[in-house]
Structure 1
């Protein structure tokens, strides 16, 4: 397989070609009000009957082909830079990129202390023969995080810590991605209370927010169990023969790092304080997300604080002989390891800019794709319409990976469409959440996926060769869930 950056470039070429074939269109927006946690909230959403093509002087739908280079920033050769600087501190791409650099630097300091390596060795010594217990425990916890508070970007930080552990236990980088990021997306998609997808989609659809939990909670457990068993089966095979790993070549980075025997015997008060700092940071992050609704800027600052405190502890206790200057160097080196995933995040964002990143009211190819899909689904038989809603949400997730963003764009169309074709709005929301969540494990436009693959040094081509089986499994199960919900009258 070609390098991941090459794949992103070919995706950009395909997106550019679409702009020469698909005319641009736009929607009007409207305010909808819904109740959540006893509070009345409002959200700006698409008016489903307002789509119109952008017309030229002759009254024909207008094309907006991207040029090879455009001073406005929308050219094919502009896509990398424009993607890197798009967005703001609250999201993709620049916000996610800065988040990755800060946590990469902070964990560079943590890893340089040697504490994590020494703790891993002690853990391995105490879990001889019981290593597979880590997989169901971690997968379940991360899936719960995705279900309860929409965990996603946070998995990147955990993957940095867990990847060396998994490889020391005889697994690989792919296993790490499965029990961290993929687990969060399984929980995200099958959630009964995700505030960033289920709650928003139900509010827009005009049904009670967080209703249907008695169906969704067993569904979450079933999908989490499916992911756990799949991961355990793969991990067992890799433990028997590590060369079967799809990431065997790139895992060499972590295997080589394990050959350093200098500090394996040390574990003192300083190491204990570093581990307590790590634990306190994780608790602090989870509390901040759940209680204070903190997002990327606040979480990045929390991890920076962790790196700063760890550096002070390392200097005071002489962990690996670290000095303030060495702490600074390790921070820079840790941030440097994030360069490749940062470029991938920027490239993916640049692809979306070419297709139209101005929102529903600005004429774009993206809006035309959305309107055409809604029209197609409305002409299908009832059960097939329900399934096509799932298929459409899964495909559209390539273009809009944000759960709340996709809900705001698609649910105002899908909700009234479901009434027309005889599908309940609850099933329409079910199709949305499963389609929105599960394809996050494969779309290269997901910043969190590309970043997690980057920190685990898993090539995107190797990831595709592995993950497609699991995605097929998820989509078959999701299809059965949507069709079952329709035939059993899930309302």
Structure 2
């Protein structure tokens, strides 16, 4: 399998070629308001039936082929890496996510420099022999709940840095760790009844009472979370019996080396306990900030940096692993260095969207043309089929717009009136959005959170794809059944 960077390069090249075949189009936009958490929120959305092609001199729809190279900050094919990396702002993809990944990588580099994590893991293994298997259902449930309640996603990158070595030390592999962290959050995200970044925004834009339909969604969340736990448990059990069956066996060697020839009893003391307490207190601070203060990428990155800094100071005071003040700096640099490929791939993946003209519905782009064409597929077919097509469309479109709120703003204003015409309730249209958006977040290489988590776990995206595609097929079948069932019971 080719390297992840190679795969993304050829995807970008394919998108660039499409700009010579598919004409660019644009929508009119408007501001829409909705109530969320008792407060009025505003979102810029496209106006249905306002799509128009960019016309050439002959009055016909015109293509706007991407050039090979652009000057003055333009977006030519060869500019895709730089332009991708600087896209957006500190609140989101790509530049915000890149900075987020590098900072938390550096923060955990400091923690790893103290060896507090490794020594604590070894102590835990020594104390919990025979009960290690419980980590899978407990962690999966907690992370799924985090995705459902407050839209946990990018945060999984940091938690993977903690849990990957834990899971490998217990005899499993890095893939198992990604399943119980990032994948679990996306199952929660996709089936949530209250996620403020997904279902709440989609319902507000669609004109559906925000947070309505909760009983159905809570049951759906419980079902899919159980499916994820069982699937992960079965897979992890096979790997524990024969670790060499793992697709990540070779890359896991990086973590396995940390647990060789280490004296468990001699390397665990007050300093280790204080660092663990620092991490726990930091996680509580982060959860509180996200839930109560709506903290996002800038605040969370700073919180993780604070955790790393405090851990480093504790390491110096207690001389953990011969830690020094300069060791704090070295640990930060090493941690950022290790996670750099994941940060780069986030920017490269954003180049896919840049080649298609960006994700602004008011600006001419091939992406808008594709969105408009897909919107016309749901008419003149049975109601259940229309709803299923909406789900498939959202799943495919998520490759281009991974942000849940961004995809909702682009697609729900178009899908909502189409649902009315097709006889599909708007509640089902929202359901199709959240399932299509959330589940494919686990596999698309354009997801910064996924690529960051895989980077923390040292797993190549190509290997992850090979493992994940079977799980995606299972989720696709089950989600299709849920969508059709929702139509048949008149979910609204």
Task: Kindly indicate whether the alpha-carbon contact (under 8 Å) linking 2:113 and 2:327 is maintained by their aligned counterparts in 1.
Answer: no
Q: Could you say which residue in structure 1 is the equivalent of 2:7?
A: 7
**Structure 2 matches for 1:233-252, cutoff 5 A?**
233-252=234-253
Q: Could you say which residue in structure 2 is the equivalent of 1:42?
A: 42
Return the alpha-carbon distance in structure 2 between the equivalents of residues 157 and 242 of structure 1: 25
Return the alpha-carbon distance in structure 1 between the equivalents of residues 470 and 249 of structure 2: 19
SS of 2:272's partner is: helix
Q: Could you say which residue in structure 1 is the equivalent of 2:62?
A: 62
Task: Kindly indicate whether the alpha-carbon contact (under 8 Å) linking 1:83 and 1:346 is maintained by their aligned counterparts in 2.
Answer: yes
Task: Kindly indicate whether the alpha-carbon contact (under 8 Å) linking 2:145 and 2:188 is maintained by their aligned counterparts in 1.
Answer: yes
Task: Kindly indicate whether the alpha-carbon contact (under 8 Å) linking 2:46 and 2:410 is maintained by their aligned counterparts in 1.
Answer: yes
Q: Could you say which residue in structure 1 is the equivalent of 2:479?
A: 478
**Structure 2 matches for 1:300-319, cutoff 5 A?**
300-319=301-320
TM-score (norm 2): 0.98
SS of 1:144's partner is: helix
RMSD, aligned CA:
1.1
Task: Kindly indicate whether the alpha-carbon contact (under 8 Å) linking 1:207 and 1:426 is maintained by their aligned counterparts in 2.
Answer: yes
User: How far off its partner does 1:261 sit?
Assistant: 2.2
Residues 1:73 and 2:89 aligned together: no
- Count of residue pairs the alignment pairs up: 491
Residues 1:333 and 2:334 aligned together: yes
User: How far off its partner does 1:358 sit?
Assistant: 5.1
User: How far off its partner does 1:273 sit?
Assistant: 0.8
CA-to-partner distance for each residue in 1:325-378, whole Å, 9 max, x for gaps? Answer: 111111101110011111111110111111121500000001000000001222
SS of 2:356's partner is: helix
SS of 2:69's partner is: coil
Return the alpha-carbon distance in structure 2 between the equivalents of residues 295 and 264 of structure 1: 39
Return the alpha-carbon distance in structure 1 between the equivalents of residues 188 and 245 of structure 2: 28
User: How far off its partner does 1:148 sit?
Assistant: 0.3
Residues 1:163 and 2:157 aligned together: no
Q: Could you say which residue in structure 2 is the equivalent of 1:33?
A: 33
TM-score (norm 1): 0.98
Task: Kindly indicate whether the alpha-carbon contact (under 8 Å) linking 2:193 and 2:217 is maintained by their aligned counterparts in 1.
Answer: yes
**Structure 2 matches for 1:12-161, cutoff 5 A?**
12-71=12-71, 72-161=73-162
Task: Kindly indicate whether the alpha-carbon contact (under 8 Å) linking 1:356 and 1:363 is maintained by their aligned counterparts in 2.
Answer: yes
Return the alpha-carbon distance in structure 1 between the equivalents of residues 256 and 482 of structure 2: 41
User: How far off its partner does 1:382 sit?
Assistant: 1.6
Q: Could you say which residue in structure 2 is the equivalent of 1:292?
A: 293
Residues 1:322 and 2:323 aligned together: yes
SS of 1:129's partner is: coil
Task: Kindly indicate whether the alpha-carbon contact (under 8 Å) linking 1:73 and 1:79 is maintained by their aligned counterparts in 2.
Answer: no
Task: Kindly indicate whether the alpha-carbon contact (under 8 Å) linking 2:377 and 2:389 is maintained by their aligned counterparts in 1.
Answer: no
CA-to-partner distance for each residue in 1:28-84, whole Å, 9 max, x for gaps? Answer: 111222222222322221101111011112111111111121224311111111111
> What stretches of structure 1 of length at least 5 have no aligned partner?
none
Return the alpha-carbon distance in structure 1 between the equivalents of residues 225 and 314 of structure 2: 38
**Structure 2 matches for 1:366-377, cutoff 5 A?**
366-377=367-378
User: How far off its partner does 1:260 sit?
Assistant: 5.1
Q: Could you say which residue in structure 2 is the equivalent of 1:214?
A: 215
Q: Could you say which residue in structure 2 is the equivalent of 1:274?
A: 275
